[in-house]
Amino acid sequence: MSAGHRIFRNIRALAAAKAATMASGLVTAAWTARVLGPDSFGVLGFGTSLMAYAALFVNMGLSTYAIREIARDRDQAAELSEHVLTLRTVLALLVGTVYAVFILSLDKPMAVKAVLLVQAVQLLGNALVLDFVYQATEKMGVIATREIGTSIGSMLLVFLLVRGPEDAITAAAITGGSITVNALIMIGRFHRDFGTLRPRIDLKVWREILTAATPMAVGVFAWAIFTHLDVVMLGFLAPHTEVGWYSAAVKIQTLANLVGNIVMNAFLPQLAASYGEIGQMRERMRAYAGVMLAVGGLVIAGGFALAPVILGTLFGDAYAPATLALRLLMLASAVVYANMILGNPLLVWHRQTGYMIAMLSGGALNALLNIWWIPRYGIEGAAMATFTAELAATVAIAWIHRRAVGELYVGIAARAMLCAGAATGAAFALAHVGAPFFAHMPALVHFIAGSVAMVLIYALVAVLTGLVRPNRLRRLTSATA
């Protein structure tokens, strides 16, 4: 099977999982936001962002390192997995202790602290997840099964147990518990595929692994600054209600970025395997950039043009104040896609140091802009800070990427922007012409009509401009049917 066919098979498996995850995640987020209200939902969002930073110190770049090493030599999958899981479990215990001390020291009500402490269960689940093995060996169906199980299980439990603002602790426990249970089930699958997992402690090996993985971890930590710092700083600088509004917008942005992650994770093993062969690196990067920009253009255009009706459909009228912030975050997502295209391949091409410096510099800028703009502009200031800092980091990463492969895929990006612009124009025109009709209908009706119009226009322009080539797509799908 060719590299292209394997990549498409990986995308198909991950897309099935992400479709189920996105659908159940949207339903779960919408239910939770409506039942808890902006204030309690803001507490959950604040805790989720704090947890994201804590989880980074548990992973420490180990997953990216393991993917790179196992993709090149699958015979070391079992031994390396034992080292990674043991090391991450130790880190989870240490980080969890520090996290608990930090939460208890905050000047927050005890009810808020309780929610934040319960969320720490996620650290153990994240430590035990074995996705890196199956991503490196291109068995994406296993990852798909785990993700579907986690998302659907969480959704059902939220429906059954979360009924009002007083159930914020329960909602936090459900998320962490679902991740942990599914990670344990996945360990059982690993036993069948690779053999029994056992604790493996070797300080010399751990030191070598951490030395190689730390630059990746720093880069990922800087990435998390863009993803979560705005919510964390809002949690300290703004009322929880505003944090709730912004958390709703961030949920939608995260789902938009998730589509790009599907493509990225499917391509990474092949991009890693191409290292050292400049011709293969360029060929696979062009394919990667083409797919990323094709899907990203539609997703970002939809999120930008339909922002008010998306918020109304999912979260209700109480979250309407987040409309402008969501549109700014969708512009930031456009830059995120460029960053995923140009930056993430650097991590598997031994250029993680440059990536780390660019992301850390952007992260520092993001922190400064948040401190400056949040008190002045509120949630819109947080969104503007994210966009500006992300753009600065991506410009630096583009320079590093061009030095690596000599290309920046400007032509593909221009076609994607043309398609996105046409689709956005169609959505705005429909909203203007249909305003009298949509004013008396649920937001869902406007969302469906706008989505259909945008998809049709985007697809037409994509084919006309050559952004999407039906013959190429047909060959891939028929080969993997």
- pLDDT single digits (tens) 272-285: 888 878 888 888 89
Q: Which two tokens stand for residue 90?
A: 């130790």
Q: Among the ranges 20-34, 248-262, 292-306, 398-412, which has the highest mean pLDDT value?
A: 292-306
Q: What are phi and psi of 226, to 5 degrees?
A: -65, -35
Domain ranges of the chain: 3-479
Q: What is the mean pLDDT of the chain?
A: 85
Neighbours of 375 (CB within 10 A): 11
- The answer to whether residues 283 and 349 touch, using CB atoms and an 8 Å cutoff, is no
pLDDT at 477 over 60: no
CB atoms within 10 A of CB 34: 15
- Mean pLDDT value across residues 233-247: 86
The span from the CA of 232 to the CA of 370, in Å, is 10
Distances 92 to 1, 174, 220 between C-alpha atoms, Å: 39, 19, 17
**30 burial level (CB within 10 Å; 0-12, 13-18, 19+):** middle
The sign of the torsion formed by the CA atoms of 155, 156, 157, 158 equals positive
The contacts of residue 318 (CB under 8 Å, 6+ apart) are 34, 37, 38
The rounded distance, in Å, linking the Cα atoms of 205 and 439 is 64
Question: pTM of the predicted model, to two decimals?
Answer: 0.73
Nearest to 296 by CA among 251, 249, 258, 343: 258
Q: What percent of the chain has pLDDT over 70?
A: 91
- In whole angstroms, give the CA distance from residue 478 to residue 430: 36
What DSSP line would sit under 148-168, residue for residue?
A: HHHHHHHHHHHHHH--SGGGH
Cα–Cα distance for residue pair 446/350, rounded to 1 Å:
47
Provide the 8-state DSSP code for 480. T
pLDDT in tens, 437-448: 998 888 999 999
